[in-house]
Structure 1
Amino acid sequence: MSMLLSDPVTAANTQLKMQFDEMQQHFNQQPYLAVAKRIQLLKSIKRELLALEDEFVAASSKDFGFRTAFDTVLGDILPTTRTVSHTIAHLPKWTKESPRKAGLSLAPSKVAVSYQPKGVVGVISPWNYPIQLAVVPVITALAAGNRVLLKVSEFTPHTNQVIKKLFSGELSEHCAVIEGEAQLSQQFSCLPFAHLFFTGSTAVGRHIMAAASKNLTPVTLELGGKSPVIITEQVDIEKAAKAILFGKMTNAGQICVAPDYVLVPDKLQHQLVKSLCGLYKKHYKLGVEGKNLTSVINDHHFTRLTTLLTDAQQQGAQIIKPLEENQSDAAKHRLGLHIVTDVNDTMKLMQEELFGPILAIVPYQQLSDAIDYINQRPQPLALYIMGQNKQTNAYIQYHTQSGTFAINDTLMQVTADDAPFGGIGPSGMGHYHGKEGFLTFSHARNTLRTGNFNPKLGMLLTQNTLLMKILKWLYLRP
């Protein structure tokens, strides 16, 4: 007897394939969306985004257990709105055909590069900035003229409903929002997208890339890693501590470019820890009871963080809590700043990306030791320098690799509208933001135009010896 109802996984996969086919059909019907129409869509997104601000703030806080309005507005709404505005302002210029030199061998033909939409783009977004990291790639892909399937995180169900509302009506023909667990994500990455964009962990990124390779789908991977801070001897330690604390406590450290550990001259370690504790007491005096501290996303991640601390302490690390109480609330999965000293490489917190309000301190004797420490490990997504000596800062810059780089600041390099964002090696592949994002989601098409007057064709067909001599004289001389 045949089953009247298919199992949920099969049904979800069938629905996913139907959504992909529908979006592909939309693209095939209009493969080159006029720039004016793209701008109209982007203006609609901006208008709806601003109208839904309060709903996004409330939904995001509900998903996290508690999330400050500051983290949602400044970390999600503001950068997304700025991206839309920047894209609208510059899109006409980005989409213009780019003339290139044809050279004598192709004269009188003309050569140019035109930027063509790729097709249906897949975007897989994470939970830590559930609005910005979902909507910004979509905005950029739509600006390039593509259609989009957006797979949102299962950890943020309330925010997902507002994102669905954002991409409703006419926008639903250009971007469809997909919800589902890990099983659906695996199926999603197997679809024959024209381009696949993923933000998440390095481990999952490897699986995404493997699945995409079966369709020869190009991928952009925005991953993470352990982003270090180097404090040099020529430093204002109080200002450095402020920048580090901001980078570590914003969104409870649940940021791919958050400072993960600090390399500090041995003689400055005590002063750094003292400054961090003093600043934390001043700005987070109520600890986990305060309304300016975002919760860890869920119980699973809270347990992961506390397990990392326990493992480090069992191996001899010192755990410094700036406050005597209100540093942890398991029931509400809230965690205050925990500074960890006396660390070693066998501790799990020195092997894994922390992604929470834990900060490891690693002292060094010589600057070369700090540089070697970084270069012996996978390239991070961000590298931060705290110091006033320009020559020292430049030396570090040119002797290390990282996806992004900032001096005397943290996190803010990501907010530069007109600069690319992306990782290197294990921290990512490819870029988005600004013009580089538009180029990521576009096919740069080599275009040759030849008029009616083309004397070289006859010479080429007859393998003319005079032409051969001319070309040799032009291009094969020593």
Structure 2
Amino acid sequence: MNTNNVYDSLKEIFEEQSLAFLKYGPPTLGSRKNALTRLEEEILLYKNEIAQAISSDFGHRSYHETLMTEIFVCIKTIHHTKKYLKKWMKPRRRPVPWYCRPGKAKIHYQPLGVVGIMSPWNYPFQLCIGPMIAAISAGNRVILKPSGRMPETGKIIEKIISKVFERNEVAVVSGSGVNDAFIQLPFNHLLYTGSTRIGKKVMRAASENLTPVTLELGGCSPVIVAKDFPVQKAVYSILTGKLFNAGQTCISANHAFIHESQVDQFVEYAVKAIKKMYSTALDNADYTNIVSKERYDNLRLLIEDAKSKGAKIIQPHEQELLQSNKRKILPTIIINTTPEMQVMKEEIFGPILPVISYDSIYDVIEKIEHNQRPLALYCFTYDQETIDTILRSTTSGGACINDTLLHFIQDDLPFGGVGHSGMGRYHGIHGFETFSNAKGVFYQSKVNIMGALRPPYGRLFKTVMDFFIGK
């Protein structure tokens, strides 16, 4: 199918949804909650097939990781949304200045219309369905574009969606040439999750239609372990987040700042932690594949580049390299890093953790602030002054204190990036607001003083203005 035919096919779905939105108007609270209930039922019904599809696309994906990050996160998002949706939909009162009283001011939230959602490959179900839940809760119609790298996952998404929604409510599109055509559609809002490079392309295309965008992009998220924090405890939290999904998580720690007096201790505990969490790596069902040979080869090159430039490579399961040709990268710690190493210049997106020694927290802050703003920042310390200093002096999309990743699953916290790591927020009420038009409405009362400010301007006008702004 040529490019024009692809665009025409997508435009037909878009216009079908736009006409349905105009014809039927905003869905009721009851219809939105019913749709979410049916969606939950189908997700639970097909949870094993979802896991199988994702694992097939990855070459192998831990079943338990899929249950946690794809199924559980979607189900809890539905529960949270249904619990608070009535409250979110109600007009919200706002203060009125005394000279406009007894008038009233309210914000009314109305759906935007047709929303486009483009999801990535690393969490292919949850990062497709999660934003859709927010868009549906706000009363929109949705066109989903799952990652082309995950064809089996795309099929199960389409199967579930077709059982819950009509095509003029939610549609799933896929195929060759769809990405470029998709971002040209005049959506009322477009959410994209993926790389910064493609995010720029999405934003340029959206600007042609003045389509507002939410961009959830990457970022080299740092983790800081202050000297007062127990190293062993920090190690387990950091590596749990780093090795989850084999490091293919946009908010996983990209590199760790460890006090110079504790680097050896950190490495010692890291080796023990890796062996405890994964007694083997390459033939371990709990340890996920790298998604593609291209990504696998790139990660191998990062390790070799660091090694050739003087870094020390620590792989607790190094002996397994001769036992398997599977597309898995061993959990890897890199010390003695330098800025010239490629692993220090890019988002790693794999189970590789460079360790950077530091003397002063202020040196760490300076290094973080001299790089692009990250999607997440992690800080391990019990000292409140240190926490306040780091949060005040650094800018990141989100942050988590004394753990990693867990800010993502807080339904009442906004999630998103800043600068090169993205723009816009969703999750919980913030997703509802992102996909809504917040319409400010003023209700004038029967009795008011504003009539004194109408032409012809005479003594009464002068008296009122003198009172308002002074003589």
Tell me which of 224, 229, 232 is aligned to 1:238.
232
Given that residues 321 and 327 in structure 1 are in contact (C-alpha distance below 8 angstroms), is that contact kept between their aligned partners in structure 2? no
Contact kept? 2:375, 2:421, Cα under 8 Å:
yes
Per the alignment, residue 365 of structure 1 pairs with: 359
Alpha-carbon deviation of 1:451?
5.3
Deviation of 1:390 after TM superposition, in Å, equals: 2.4
**How big is the shift at 1:108?**
4.4
Specify the SS of the correspondent of 2:304. Answer: helix
Shift of 1:394: 2.1
For residue 142 of structure 1, the aligned residue among 136, 161, 164 is 136
Match of 2:415 in 1: 421
Deviation at 1:97, TM superposition (A): 0.5
After TM superposition, give the deviation of residue 328 of structure 1 in Å: 8.1
Change beyond 3 A, Cα 1:36–1:349: same
C-alpha displacement of 1:393: 2.2
Q: Is the 8 A contact 2:314 2:333 kept in 1?
A: yes
Query: Contact 2:373/2:420 (CA < 8 Å) preserved in 1?
Result: yes
Q: How does 1:264-279 map to 2 (within 5 A)?
A: 264-279=258-273
In the alignment, is the contact (CA less than 8 A) between 2:96 and 2:105 conserved in 1? yes
So what's the TM-score if we normalise by structure 1?
Answer: 0.94
Q: Please, which of 394, 397, 406 is the counterpart of residue 400 of structure 2?
A: 406
Tell me, yes or no, if structure 1 residue 282 matches structure 2 residue 309: no
Query: Partner of 2:311 in structure 1?
Result: 317
Query: Is structure 2 residue 355 aligned with structure 1 residue 397?
Result: no
| AA at the equivalent of 2:173 | I
Deviation string 1:302-327 (CA, Å, 9 cap, x unpaired) is 11111211222222222111123225
Structure 2 residue 162 is the aligned partner of structure 1 residue 171? no
Q: Name 1:61's counterpart in structure 2.
A: 55
Amino acid at match of 1:195: H
Distance 1:100 1:467, change over 3 A: farther
Output the amino acid matched with 1:303: D
Q: Which runs of structure 2 are paired with 1:61-210 in the superposition (5 Å)?
A: 61-172=55-166, 173-181=168-176, 183-210=177-204
1:249 aligns with 2:265: no
User: 1:3 maps to what in 2?
Assistant: none
Deviations 1:158-205 (A, max 9, x none): 111111111114513321111134x42122111111111111111111
SS of equivalent to 1:63: helix
My pick for the range that moved more, 169-178 or 83-92, is: 169-178
Task: Using the TM superposition, give the Cα deviation of residue 123 of structure 1 relative to its aligned residue in structure 2, in angstroms.
Answer: 0.6
| Superposed displacement of residue 273, structure 1 | 0.9
Q: Which residue of 2 aligns with 1:340?
A: 334
Offset from partner CA, 1:50-72 (integer Å, 9 cap, x none): 11111101111111111111110
Taking the aligned partners of 2:78 and 2:417, their CA distance within structure 1 comes to: 22
Q: Which residue of 2 aligns with 1:226?
A: 220
Once residues 387 and 323 of structure 2 are traced to their aligned partners in structure 1, the CA distance between those partners, rounded to angstroms, is 40
CA gap 1:393/1:256 in 2 versus in 1, 3 angstroms: same
Q: Distance in 1 between matches of 2:430 and 2:46?
A: 28
Q: What letter corresponds to residue 334 of structure 1 in structure 2?
A: K
Q: What is the alpha-carbon distance in structure 2 between the residues aligned to residue 36 and residue 461 of structure 1?
A: 49
Q: CA RMSD in A?
A: 1.8
Alignment-mate amino acid for residue 470 of structure 2:
R
Determine whether 1:49 maps to 2:74: no
Paired residue type of 1:335: I
Mapped contact 2:452–2:460 kept (Cα < 8 A): no
Letter in 2 for 1:351: K
Q: 1:418 to 1:115 in 2, by over 3 A?
A: same
Change (3 A) 1:39 1:468: farther
Q: 1:184 to 1:331 in 2, by over 3 A?
A: farther
Distance 2:420 2:324 in 1: 32
Distance in 2 separating the partners of 1:122 and 1:211? 13
**d(CA) in 2 for partners of 1:238, 1:257:** 21
Tell me how far apart the structure 1 counterparts of residues 363 and 449 of structure 2 sit (CA, whole Å). 65
Q: CA deviation at 1:293?
A: 0.1
Distance 1:458 1:269, change over 3 A: closer
Instruction: Tell me, yes or no, if structure 1 residue 376 matches structure 2 residue 370.
Output: yes
Aligned length: 470
| Amino acid paired to 1:477 | G
Whole-Å separation in 2 of the counterparts to 1:463 and 1:141: 49
Report deviation, 1:11.
Answer: 2.3
Percent identity (aligned):
36
Distance in 2 separating the partners of 1:330 and 1:127:
25
Give the AA of the match of 1:205. Answer: G
In 2: Cα distance, 1:32 partner to 1:433 partner: 21
Give the partner amino acid of 2:94.
R
d(CA) in 1 for partners of 2:212, 2:112: 10
Q: How does 1:17-28 map to 2 (within 5 A)?
A: 17-28=11-22
Separation in structure 2 between the aligned mates of residue 62 and residue 157 of structure 1, nearest angstrom: 9
2:470 aligned partner: 477
In the superposition, relative to structure 1, how do residues 451 and 370 fare at CA in structure 2: closer, same or farther (>3 Å)?
Answer: closer
Task: Give the Cα separation in 1 of the matches to 2:240 and 2:253.
Answer: 9
CA–CA distance in structure 2, aligned partners of residues 348 and 330 of structure 1: 26
Distance 1:415 1:66 in 2: 24
Which stretch shifts more, 318-327 or 292-301? 318-327
Counterpart-to-counterpart distance in 1, 2:445 and 2:164: 42
| Partner of residue 353, structure 1 | 347
Label 1:73 to 1:328 Cα distance change in 2 as closer, same or farther (>3 A): farther
Question: Which string of whole-angstrom CA distances, capped at 9 and with x for unpartnered residues, describes residues 194-247 of structure 1?
Answer: 111111111111111111111111111111210011111101111111001101
1:298 to 292, 297, 308: 292
Counterpart secondary structure, 2:333:
strand
Contact 1:287 1:327 in 2 (8 A): no
Q: CA deviation at 1:458?
A: 7.6
> CA contact under 8 A between 2:245 and 2:288: conserved in structure 1?
yes
